[in-house]
């Protein structure tokens, strides 16, 4: 039975309730946003963080910016400068180790039928989850597209990003190194959300797979698990999760994020809101899950009591 939420639960009770739902769910739909990565210190938004200084400090000095986000939207004078930053940024994303929030989340749901939708473009989910079960709704560092969108194709980026990152001098690339479209010769563009974002065959196929997953499981016990979703783009994950929780009779929902507000009253009895540090909380939930598993294995018998008897 998928419990309804009781009022006035403590943090531990909420975590236990989410673990119950995970165990009982026929399907777990994970929605991951920037807080999932920021919690590990992979901070693309705040000014002059240790992460920024380590990976982008040289660009920060040259272009007078303090965050990866600002460098992304910096007005570069030419493609040689702009693509140097794109190459660094993409290579950093592909090369970073997987963050603990992601490995902990994997521990929690790996034995359950699951699917992921994410606004993150930093490829972290793909380092631990099956890439065939991840819908990167705003694109992803693994791909590039033609800036003129001359065809619906997108192109693998990994080899290009690493090669270009290694050839940056003083925050610039050589003109001949700027990547160009193999079909029309226009400058390439990272495949991430922008005014020219390529909603091509790949995106549409991935969107259809995600919709089919929801369609298949919508009448079953389906759990929506939203992680690290802030206020930047709630229209992609948060609002649809709330709507589906409201509309699907057997759905439950949990949101974990720093500053997470209380659930809307229409879905309050089906939703757990955890206003928490997700790095710490996912770790606690993995430990609670392990305690459950070992108490099951011991047939719920308190070992100490047996020894003492």
| Residue that is written with structure tokens 């699917």 in the block | 115
Please, what is the minimum distance in Å from the beta carbon of residue 150 to Zn ion? 3
45-64 binders of Zn ion (CB under 5 A): none
Cβ proximity to Zn ion: between 20 and 148 the closer is 148
| 186 touching Zn ion, by CB under 5 A | yes
Nearer to Zn ion, 2 or 155 (CB): 155
Binding status of residue 187 toward Zn ion by CB under 5 A: no
Q: Give the residue, chosen from 150, 187, 258, 288, that forms a contact with Zn ion under the rule CB under 5 A.
A: 150
Tokens for 67, please give them: 């965050």
State the Cα–Cα distance between residues 81 and 22, nearest whole angstrom. Answer: 47
C-alpha distance across the termini of the chain, in Å: 36
**CB burial class (10 A; 0-12, 13-18, 19+) of residue 188?**
buried
| Rounded Cα distance, 100 and 126, in Å | 14
Shortest spacing between CB 160 and Zn ion, in angstroms: 15
What DSSP character marks residue 115?
A: E
> Considering only residues 11, 183, 211, 290, which one is a binding residue for Zn ion as defined by CB under 5 A?
183
Counting contacts by CB under 5 A, is residue 146 touching Zn ion?
yes
Closest CB 200 distance from Zn ion, rounded Å: 12
Number of residues that bind Zn ion (CB under 5 A): 7
- Interface with Zn ion includes 196 (CB under 5 A)? no
Longest alpha-carbon distance in the chain: 80
Residue 197 CA, chain-centre distance (Å), reads 19
The residue range among 11-19, 23-31, 139-147, 254-262 that interacts with Zn ion, by the rule CB under 5 A, is: 139-147
Q: Which is nearer to Zn ion, 35 or 179 (CB)?
A: 179
Q: Which is nearer to Zn ion, 163 or 183 (CB)?
A: 183
Q: Which is nearer to Zn ion, 24 or 148 (CB)?
A: 148
Task: Give the position of tokens 């000095």.
Answer: 61
Of positions 46, 57, 156, 184, contacts Zn ion by CB under 5 A: 184
Q: In 3-state terms, what secondary structure has residue 124?
A: coil
Classify burial at 274, counting beta carbons within 10 Å of its beta carbon; exposed 0-12, middle 13-18, buried 19 or more. buried
39 is a contact residue toward Zn ion (CB under 5 A): no
Task: Using alpha carbons, select from 90, 152, 148 the residue that is nearest to residue 123.
Answer: 90
Write out the residues near Zn ion by the rule CB under 5 A: 146, 148, 150, 181, 183-184, 186
């Amino acid at each position: 039975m998928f419990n309804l939420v009781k009022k006035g639960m403590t943090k531990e009770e909420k975590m236990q309730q989410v673990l119950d739902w995970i165990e009982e769910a026929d399907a777990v739909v994970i929605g991951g946003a920037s807080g999932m990565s920021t919690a590990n210190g992979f901070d693309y938004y705040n000014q002059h963080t240790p992460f920024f200084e380590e990976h982008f400090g040289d660009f920060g000095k040259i272009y007078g910016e303090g965050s990866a986000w600002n460098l992304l939207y910096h007005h570069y004078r030419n493609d040689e400068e702009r693509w140097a930053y794109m190459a660094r940024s993409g290579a950093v994303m592909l090369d970073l180790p997987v963050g603990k929030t992601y490995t902990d989340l994997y521990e929690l749901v790996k034995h359950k039928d699951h699917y992921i939708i994410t606004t993150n473009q930093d490829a972290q989910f793909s380092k631990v989850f099956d890439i065939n079960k991840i819908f990167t709704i705003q694109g992803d560092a693994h791909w590039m597209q033609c800036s003129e969108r001359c065809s619906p194709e997108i192109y693998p980026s990994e080899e290009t990003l690493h090669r270009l990152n290694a050839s940056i001098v003083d925050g610039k690339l050589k003109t001949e190194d700027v990547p160009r479209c193999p079909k029309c010769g226009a400058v390439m563009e990272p495949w991430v959300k922008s005014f020219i974002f390529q909603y091509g065959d790949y995106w549409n196929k991935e969107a259809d797979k995600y919709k089919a997953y929801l369609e298949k499981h919508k009448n079953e016990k389906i759990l929506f698990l939203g992680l690290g979703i802030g206020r930047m783009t709630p229209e992609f994950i948060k609002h649809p999760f709330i709507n589906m929780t409201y509309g699907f009779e057997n759905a439950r929902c949990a949101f974990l994020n720093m500053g997470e507000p209380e659930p809307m009253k229409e879905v309050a009895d089906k939703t757990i809101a955890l206003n928490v540090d997700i790095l710490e909380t996912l770790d606690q939930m993995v430990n609670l899950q392990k305690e459950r598993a070992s108490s099951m294995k011991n047939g719920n018998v308190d070992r100490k009591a047996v020894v003492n008897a």
